[in-house]
Amino acid sequence: MVQATAARTDALIEEVDRYSAHNYHPLPVVLDRGEGIWVWDVEGNRYMDMLAAYSALNQGHRHPRILAAAEEQMGKLTLTSRAFHNDQMGAFVRELCAATGFEKALPMNTGAEAVETAIKMVRKWGYERRSVAPDAAEIIVCRNNFHGRTTTIVGFSSEPQYREGFGPFAPGFVEVAYGDAEAFERAITPNTVGFLVEPLQGEGGVVVPPEGYLARTRALCTEHGIAFMADEIQTGLGRTGRLFACDWEDVRPDVLIVGKALGGGVYPVSAAIADAEFMDVFRPGDHGSTFGGNPLGAAVAREALQVILDEDLVRKSDELGSWFMDELRGIGSPHVEEVRGRGLMIGVVIKESSGTARPYCEALQSRGILAKETHGQVIRFAPPLVIQREDIEFALGHVRDVLTA
């Protein structure tokens, strides 16, 4: 059990509360060190990280190869802006395209920036290549989505809290039920240019769509000339037991959106990836980012991507994730409604009659396991993909105790 000396922890939390906005509700732990799957708080307590910074740490904390790439690049050049070329961006986008099977990639920084990039790209593609009337383009989105926090993105969220007080919102988005291909088909109009979808909804509660949903909506997009836009910011790069979650149904999107683990837990890197048909609608001045494609981010992302491939983390995620979910289901807790997920992206749904997921996460924290609730009722387990089976076995003992208490 964790033995915390609360004075320093309380002081540090109070400092954040005093000088920052209260826009998060973190667990009451203050971390100051990490390595692999482990983190330590300021009191010296060790915890197993079962969240991996919302899948941004697929390679684990402070992976030595990624740190070495960052340190080497910091010794040479960190930022040029896109006013000039640098010697890392070209290799980065080439390697990213080779790994994903697309022709071009546009680097950004955060996931939300990459989503905004995809939206702008697909809208302009609709006007130029589909001859949609000016300002009439529509993008179909899914209920319960989470694509970021910009005003454009929260404008098409179905979560009231994400929208309240932040309008007016951009038009041009049509919401349909997630996992319902027929609802998607009914929403298609001559102005539909894109379908923006998470192949597995993470923030929405680790929701896995029905089998065949991705393939069917992909076919409908092809039939109607609609861009299939896959937001793989959280699900991509091995998290679900495939390099990308769309691979579970052999679906190739028109636009692939990546981020989080692309930065290896060291530096924010994201990208919108597509073939030239889409990417070439951008001309100088249409879109940009001062930090997008910077040499430090590019060097970090190149190594982060290579670590996932070299260390076979996709296979590990698939094998360990399947076993972990089976073990969780085998606990037979009276408080658990279901266990769902793919790979090492797992949601344990707490019955409403047993309260919310928050107290269970707090109980796990007291035992040295860091997980976080999402959507009120779901405990999300998403450890770094470098985790070993014996580590999960250790965690399972505590999870079993908490879920059956």
Handedness of CA 134, 112, 314, 365 (dihedral sign): negative
**What stretch of H or E contains 307?**
helix 295-310
Q: What percent of the chain has pLDDT over 90?
A: 98
Q: What percent of the chain has pLDDT over 70?
A: 99
**What's residue 331's pLDDT?**
97
Write out pLDDT tens, residues 163-185.
999 999 999 999 999 999 999 99
Residues annotated catalytic, as ranges: 146, 231, 260
**What's residue 7's pLDDT?**
85
Using pLDDT thresholds of 50, 70 and 90, give the confidence band for residue 3. low
Between 295-310 and 64-74, two packed helices, what is the crossing angle to 10 degrees? Answer: 160
CA distances from 387 to 37, 68, 140, 379 (A): 6, 21, 37, 18
Write out pLDDT tens, residues 276-319.
999 999 999 999 999 999 999 999 999 999 999 999 999 999 99
Handedness of CA 173, 174, 176, 181 (dihedral sign): negative
CB 261 within 8 Å of CB 245: no
CATH tag for 64-310 (out of 3.30.43.10, 3.40.50.720, 3.30.70.260, 3.40.640.10): 3.40.640.10
User: Same CATH topology for 6-49+312-404 and 64-310?
Assistant: no
Q: Which has the closest alpha carbon to 193: 224, 150, 232?
A: 224
Residues ≥6 apart with Cβ < 8 Å to 135: 172
Burial-class residue 77 by CB neighbours within 10 Å (0-12, 13-18, 19+): middle
CATH number of 6-49+312-404: 3.90.1150.10
Write out pLDDT tens, residues 43-99.
999 999 999 999 999 999 999 999 999 999 999 999 999 999 999 999 999 999 999
Q: What is the pTM of this model?
A: 0.97
For residues 346 and 113, what is the distance between their CA atoms, to the nearest angstrom? Answer: 26
Burial-class residue 182 by CB neighbours within 10 Å (0-12, 13-18, 19+): exposed
CB 321 within 8 Å of CB 238: no
4 pLDDT higher than 60: no
The domain limits of the chain are 6-49+312-404, 64-310
